[in-house]
Amino acid sequence: MGRYNLHIKPTLGDKSIEQITHDDINRLQRSLINAKKAPKTINGIIQLLGAIFNNSKAPNPCKEIKKLKENDRRERYLTKDEVNLLFENVKDDPTLNLFVHLALNTGGRLETILHIQKKDINISNGSLILHDLKSGGTYTGFVGEHLKEILSSVLKDMKPNDYVIGGNEIPTPSRTIQRHLKRILDQLFNNGLDSRDAKNRVVIHTLRHTFASQLAINGVSLFIIQKLLNHKDITHTQRYSKLAPDSGHDAVKSLFA
Confidence category of residue 93, pLDDT binned at 50, 70, 90: very high
Let me know the angle formed at the C-alpha of 125 by 120 and 131, rounded to the nearest 5 degrees: 25
Contacts of 20 (CB under 8 A, 6+ apart): 12, 53, 61
Q: Count Cβ atoms below 10 Å from residue 225 Cβ, excluding itself.
A: 22
Is 208 a residue whose pLDDT tops 70?
yes
How crowded is the C-beta side of 185, counted as CA atoms within 13 Å?
Answer: 21
154 neighbors 98 (Cβ within 8 angstroms): yes
Question: Which of 57-66's residues contact partners 24+ apart within 8 Å by CB, and which partners?
Answer: 58/17, 58/18, 61/20, 61/21, 61/22, 61/24, 61/25, 62/25, 64/22, 65/22, 65/25, 65/26, 65/29
Burial string for 39-53 (b: 16+ CB within 10 Å, else e) reads bbbbbebbeebbebb
Does residue 112 surpass a pLDDT of 90? Answer: yes
3-class DSSP state for residue 61?
Answer: helix
Q: Write down the domain spans for the chain.
A: 2-64, 80-243
C-alpha distances in Å from residue 179, one per residue of 27, 45, 53, 173, 200? 32, 24, 35, 10, 19
Whether the predicted pLDDT of 137 surpasses 90: yes
Residue 138: strand pairing partners:
131
The mean pLDDT value for 68-73 works out to 70
| Displacement of CA 177 from its chain's centroid (Å) | 13
Spatial distance between the Cα atoms of 179 and 201, rounded to a whole number of angstroms: 16
Domain 80-243, CATH 1.10.510.10 — does that match? no
Mean pLDDT value of segment 88-114: 98
pLDDT averaged over every residue in the chain: 90
1 has pLDDT over 90: no
What does the alpha-carbon distance between residue 44 and residue 79 come to, in Å, rounded to a whole number?
32
- Residue 218 is predicted with a pLDDT of 93
Phi-psi category of 248—alpha, beta or left, where left has phi over 0 and alpha has psi -120 to 50?
left
